[in-house]
Structure 1
Amino acid sequence: MRHRLVGLAAAVLVGAVVAVPQAQAQRVDAVVEWYDVTAGVLAAAPAPTQVTNNRTWAISWLAAARAVRHGHDRAFTEAAVASAVHDSLVRLVPSRAAEVDSALATTLARIPSGAAKSRGVAAGSAQARRTLAEREGDGLDPASVNAPFPVPPAAPGVWQPTPPAYAPAIQYGNRSAKPFTLRRADQFRPSPPPALDSSRYQRDLAEVRDYGSVDSTVRTEAQTRIASFWYQGSQPAFVTPVRVALTESRASLADRVRLVAVYNVAAVDTQIATSDAKYAYQLWRPVTALRTGGLPSWTPLHVTPAHPDYPSGHATYAGVSEQVLTSLTGPRTRQPFDLNSPTAPGVVIQYQTWRDLSRDNINARVWSGIHTRIADEVGTDLGRTVGRHTLATFDRLLG
């Protein structure tokens, strides 16, 4: 609902812009405008796999970053951003073509006619075609992402489908997809998880047992709120924080386009790296470990997602977000900002530093009863590592 409202707000803003004088209309921020268009499209017509949605963001905004790289004229740059994102979205989410066409018409109507505007439109379209062609068949479509996973025989520590649905594993195919900047999916694969009989694993499992059960007597009300809040999908959870960074940034229009592109390219590569590690180690989830270990009726606060424990995907996503946003905008925002969540209606949490989002993601997955703390901490570190790599190598994608 929040994302639908964001899209609606963008549409209202667009309508208002058309009615005001040209000088005032020029104050519209084209980067935020098309960020909201992208968010609205993917909120209205999301793919069933989150990495596919991130792919749409990454392709659209990489095309825009390529198109504006050598542009200095404002008319050229705004037209290039609108054209690149428009053409990418129409191709990738054709069911929303009408609203994207309308948004493009609105943007172009306020840009003065001339050679710069025409060159911008042409550059955006050319880079959209180029980027879409490069990513054709990259293995990030829903069918490829959820390629069948042959479940191994049950054994101590080995992942098995989890209750209540005992659903087939998901995201197995991510590890075979084509990254944007990684050389290969296992480039930054973390070390194996601790042995089942190690003090670290036993301590972490006991923490999940006590704090993550549906009927826990030690988890506080505040901890339950955090767990429920961050039970939301990790990809949509960071749409608003990135927008906050975008609106607070004092960088040039081209640099802010680059911010959105870098972030989403890093997010795609992080999910590829995460699935590689998950299915390389195939560590069982806490619910399986606890029920096998003598607590047959133990139940987590939240339903366990259908893929292995180590590392945590939510935490990995938080880590890459923290790394990229800190590197591009600094460790904290000038003003605190509010976040809400579809999985915790009515709960609003205020943040000001990117690291605090990572902290709450790490804790939330333990308090939800669905991850060990080591899986969360290693996931956060993996995300930070992929984020640093993307920042260091992104310019090679611009070409």
Structure 2
Amino acid sequence: MTTSMSRRHLLVTGGAAAAVLATTGLPSPAAAAPAHASGPAVVLAWNRELLAIVRTPGLQPATVHPTRSFALLHAAIHDAVVATTGTGRPYLFTVDVPGHAAPEAAAAQAAHDVLAALYPARAAELADLLAGQLARVTPPAARTDGVRAGQLVARLLLGLRTGDGSAAIPPVLPPGTAPGQYRPTPPAFAPAAFTHWAAVTPFVLDRADRFRAAPYPSLSGARYAKALQEVAAAGRDTSTTRTADETVQARFWAAPIWNYWNEIAQSVVTGSRSNLLVAARVFARLNLAFADAVIAFYEAKYHYRIWRPITAVRLAGEDGNPATDGVPDWSSLATTPADPAYPGAHSVVSQAGALVLRREYGPRWPVEVASEALPGVQRRFASFQEAADEAGLSRITAGVHTRLDHEAGRRLGLDVAAFVLRS
């Protein structure tokens, strides 16, 4: 069983500052910001930097999920800002710093130190970004004290995550043989990915299986047959029932889903004129929820080990359901990810993101989303929930998930995000 890092107890003294673990979680949206709180530029810049890193081939370790890096980055920024503004509740620990320490300097230094530790090959660029930000912070004494606070927060956080299971070698998952069991999918027939991730220690959840999805429906039942028939028709590469817009949706949302929601958060934070403290809180909540949601959905995926639609449709003649028919040459519109189907990752992460942003900014916030999978294309939504729904359902028309995966994913995303928000 895994246990949350945020439930451990710690007392550390370093230099001029002391840190004590906090167990009260992140502050409520209503927490007042101090009058001296600055804008969100520092938070946004480091988020953009990490997005650039994870999009650069070869920089992200293949067996370390990127959401871990986003959670580390934004937890460090958040706690550094809380420490130096004296407002809000920290994620992990309270750092005692001089009252005039600059929050911008603390946030920038904490962000730099986390990313420099995770991506040493990017050291020069990270140092340049930090230097440019620190140069704008005055007076020098406030900058220096802020830097010390940021260094301490980053060091403590990185230390707490050492040995969290993320560096483990992924075990090989034997291919399934019985109806319903997952097996590698064409065209690459790659081995299952992130088979070790369910054992990674959550950031906020007390255990990975706390909100495990309900057992998968019987393959012989009507629910399964209806879901398979839907994806067989709408998700096929040569589908005649999928609309032109559904095809665009399937291709639009094909990139890593946590990237989209970090981009959405950047746009919202900028458009709302959120200050530094609010920006730090929003990104911390968002990415802590994503990191734990990914741990949770891998726990469920590898607990149930449900086959993907491309396998299910091709072998439907063997599933024992008279309402399904095998189509041996069936192929999906999109390439199927190398992991089990249930629950759907896009649905989990999107629902978590929608709840976090809705809690901060309200239910009706216009959203404009860009896609790294379809450059130059933008889609507009009246709310975060509309964006989340489309992202999750797009995986059905892409042919890589059924509605059963989507519905279980939505439930899991809601549960994980709600837990993070009230922790």
TM-score range, shorter chain: 0.7 to 0.9
Letter in 2 for 1:383: G
> Retained in 1: the 8 A contact 2:293–2:416?
yes
State yes or no: 1:87 paired with 2:113: yes
- 2:63 & 2:283 partners in 1: Cα distance? 17
Query: Where does the alignment leave 5 or more consecutive residues of structure 2 unmatched?
Result: 1-37, 86-98, 317-325
- 2:40 & 2:189 partners in 1: Cα distance? 49
**Segment of structure 1 superposing worse, 111-120 or 90-99:** 111-120
- Aligned-pair CA distance for 1:325: 1.1
Q: Using a 3 Å threshold, how does the CA distance of structure 1 residues 107 and 241 change in structure 2: closer, same or farther? A: same
Letter in 1 for 2:48: D
1:229-240 alignment, distance < 5 Å: 229-240=252-263
- 1:367 & 1:28 partners in 2: Cα distance? 37
Secondary structure at the residue paired with 2:197?
helix
- Aligned-pair CA distance for 1:348: 2.0
> Retained in 2: the 8 A contact 1:147–1:173?
yes
Any idea what the Cα deviations from partners look like across 1:307-336, whole Å, max 9, x if unmatched? 111100111111111111111222233xx4
- 1:161 & 1:203 partners in 2: Cα distance? 24
- 1:385 & 1:51 partners in 2: Cα distance? 24
- 2:367 & 2:351 partners in 1: Cα distance? 19
- 2:131 & 2:383 partners in 1: Cα distance? 37
- Aligned-pair CA distance for 1:31: 2.6
- 2:130 & 2:190 partners in 1: Cα distance? 42
Residue among 328, 346, 353 paired with 2:360: 328
> Retained in 2: the 8 A contact 1:75–1:112?
no
- Aligned-pair CA distance for 1:305: 1.1
Residue among 350, 354, 360 paired with 1:318: 350
Secondary structure at the residue paired with 1:349?
strand
- Aligned-pair CA distance for 1:379: 0.3
- 1:135 & 1:215 partners in 2: Cα distance? 46
State yes or no: 1:115 paired with 2:147: no
> Retained in 2: the 8 A contact 1:309–1:371?
yes
Residue among 20, 38, 46 paired with 2:50: 38
- 2:192 & 2:407 partners in 1: Cα distance? 22
Question: 2:405 is matched with which residue?
Answer: 375
- Aligned-pair CA distance for 1:70: 3.4
- Aligned-pair CA distance for 1:356: 1.2
State yes or no: 1:259 paired with 2:291: no
Residue among 314, 333, 341 paired with 1:309: 341
Question: 1:69 is matched with which residue?
Answer: 82
Secondary structure at the residue paired with 2:372?
coil
Number of matched residues? 363
1:348-387 alignment, distance < 5 Å: 348-387=378-417
**Segment of structure 1 superposing worse, 372-381 or 349-358:** 349-358
Residue among 305, 308, 313 paired with 1:285: 308
State yes or no: 1:47 paired with 2:73: no
- 2:252 & 2:274 partners in 1: Cα distance? 32
Q: Using a 3 Å threshold, how does the CA distance of structure 1 residues 281 and 117 change in structure 2: closer, same or farther? A: same
- Aligned-pair CA distance for 1:252: 3.8
Secondary structure at the residue paired with 1:297?
coil
Q: CA RMSD in A?
A: 2.0
- Aligned-pair CA distance for 1:255: 2.7
Question: 2:153 is matched with which residue?
Answer: 127
Secondary structure at the residue paired with 1:137?
coil
Secondary structure at the residue paired with 2:102?
helix
Residue among 102, 120, 123 paired with 2:128: 102
- 1:283 & 1:308 partners in 2: Cα distance? 5
> Retained in 1: the 8 A contact 2:40–2:276?
no
When normalised by structure 1's length, the TM-score is: 0.86
**Segment of structure 1 superposing worse, 43-52 or 286-295:** 43-52
Higher helix fraction (1 or 2)? 1
- 1:86 & 1:121 partners in 2: Cα distance? 10
Letter in 2 for 1:117: R
Matched residues, percent identical?
A: 37
Letter in 2 for 1:239: N
> Retained in 2: the 8 A contact 1:162–1:306?
yes
Q: Using a 3 Å threshold, how does the CA distance of structure 1 residues 164 and 158 change in structure 2: closer, same or farther? A: same
- 2:198 & 2:284 partners in 1: Cα distance? 21
Question: 2:23 is matched with which residue?
Answer: none
- 1:365 & 1:167 partners in 2: Cα distance? 20
Q: Using a 3 Å threshold, how does the CA distance of structure 1 residues 220 and 48 change in structure 2: closer, same or farther? A: farther
- Aligned-pair CA distance for 1:251: 4.4
Letter in 1 for 2:350: A
- 2:42 & 2:212 partners in 1: Cα distance? 38
Question: 1:18 is matched with which residue?
Answer: none
Query: Where does the alignment leave 5 or more consecutive residues of structure 1 unmatched?
Result: 1-25, 394-399
Secondary structure at the residue paired with 2:65?
helix
Residue among 205, 208, 214 paired with 1:182: 205
Letter in 1 for 2:379: I
- 2:252 & 2:138 partners in 1: Cα distance? 45
- 2:219 & 2:308 partners in 1: Cα distance? 12
